[in-house]
Structure 1
């Protein structure tokens, strides 16, 4: 069965990273042969002075295909890992959603989008999780990470939100490469401009310093932009990526 695993708030300003914690949970799943995991995505939530976040207030989510009998062991071990290895002062939260058992996908997606524009409460998160029949648990500190953990799953389920963790390894910055080679030598499924134009396989892209992919239309997309001189496509900068 297909599950979504959301994790948030496992770090502090000096130690840890939620992406690293999520990767460790992926490792637990795969080393126990419970199933196979798909790309880990980072989802941006509201930035507000009244929200206690470490750096960017983002949560992480990945998808896994597992056998039903592995669900409870996965939840138990993931929770234990967060309790034992999250940074001091962090407020870890864990959300696990079984797609076929989710009672109202649209409500979960709406919750995810709402966390981008409004300060949410832990009570709201638990109320929705109970209504939808999904697992939501806190594993240290105030447990406020449950808000982002639930939101991360909702946003991942849109198929149109989030950046995939990690950077592509293609060629050196400044190199020119065509779209066909990008797709054949990486997990990228499509190269697309920031205004929606899908590049043909024979078109060329100049590689920048940071090759990041995003989730759009359920696909792993390498976003690009047209240089000011209008002569070439180039992979996006940090300022472009803030929109994903």
Structure 2
């Protein structure tokens, strides 16, 4: 069973980011199961929406045995967020098995990429479907991005990985073969052609996109090798 754990608005402009907190939490979840990865999802940028740098949320993909209870994960992750609470942040947390998310939450996530939604919209939808959604301080507006993150990650066709396998151990340049061993599922050109061999240059570590529920690294050919193309 896959359980998605989404967080948003856990930071301020001066603090560590939500993505870093998500990776830290992911590392602490080993007793619940295995972490398949952490994805970042871009949300709508608008003057009426408070955000720190990019208005993105983070989602942890947790593979668990069927006996693991969502409330137990909610309590554990809530504690981790509160232990690292940043004054001035408005954190929100959403947790659900992928089987319990559904089309309405996917649509909520897609809407959150192009229009302004309210905390009330998120709370009403979560209560209607029965999804655990928790505000953990400040205005609690982070519940909007957290619920959106569940929908976008569960769609399998949005965002990019910021943690998966050993990808963060690779830097600047790597062979396609090593990328595939480290956590990338497929390497594709922008034209859709699959790449099986060659060298890929990256700005930092590889950031494959979540496409068709797989980690797909997009590249473009240049001077006999490939440059990574980061796509949300």
TM-score between both structures, scaled by the size of structure 1: 0.85
From the superposition, tell whether residues 70 and 172 of structure 1 become closer, same or farther in structure 2 (CA, over 3 Å).
same
Query: Are residue 131 (structure 1) and residue 132 (structure 2) matched?
Result: no
Q: Distance in 1 between matches of 2:100 and 2:44?
A: 28
**Structure-1 residue corresponding to 2:35:** 37
Q: Distance in 2 between matches of 1:189 and 1:101?
A: 26
Can you list the C-alpha shifts for 1:37-74, whole angstroms capped at 9, x where unaligned?
A: 21000000001111100000000002212343443222
**Structure-1 residue corresponding to 2:48:** 50
**Structure-2 residue corresponding to 1:232:** 224
From the superposition, tell whether residues 233 and 100 of structure 1 become closer, same or farther in structure 2 (CA, over 3 Å).
same
Whether contact under 8 Å (1:206, 1:232) holds in the other structure is no
Q: Distance in 1 between matches of 2:203 and 2:2?
A: 35
Q: Distance in 2 between matches of 1:171 and 1:16?
A: 21
Q: Secondary structure at the match of 1:96?
A: strand
Query: Are residue 214 (structure 1) and residue 209 (structure 2) matched?
Result: yes
From the superposition, tell whether residues 193 and 143 of structure 1 become closer, same or farther in structure 2 (CA, over 3 Å).
same
The Cα of 1:28 is off from its aligned counterpart by 3.0
Structure (1 or 2) with the greater strand fraction: 2
**Which of 1 and 2 has greater Rg?**
1
**Structure-1 residue corresponding to 2:61:** 63
Q: Secondary structure at the match of 2:28?
A: helix
**Structure-1 residue corresponding to 2:6:** 6
Can you list the C-alpha shifts for 1:201-226, whole angstroms capped at 9, x where unaligned?
A: 2x423423333211111111121013
Q: Distance in 2 between matches of 1:172 and 1:99?
A: 34
TM-score between both structures, scaled by the size of structure 2: 0.89
The Cα of 1:194 is off from its aligned counterpart by 2.3
2:189 paired residue among 178, 193, 214? 193
Kindly tell me the number of residue pairs found equivalent between the two proteins: 227
**Structure-2 residue corresponding to 1:22:** 22
The Cα of 1:180 is off from its aligned counterpart by 3.3
Q: Secondary structure at the match of 2:199?
A: strand
Q: CA RMSD in A?
A: 2.0
Q: Distance in 1 between matches of 2:216 and 2:85?
A: 31
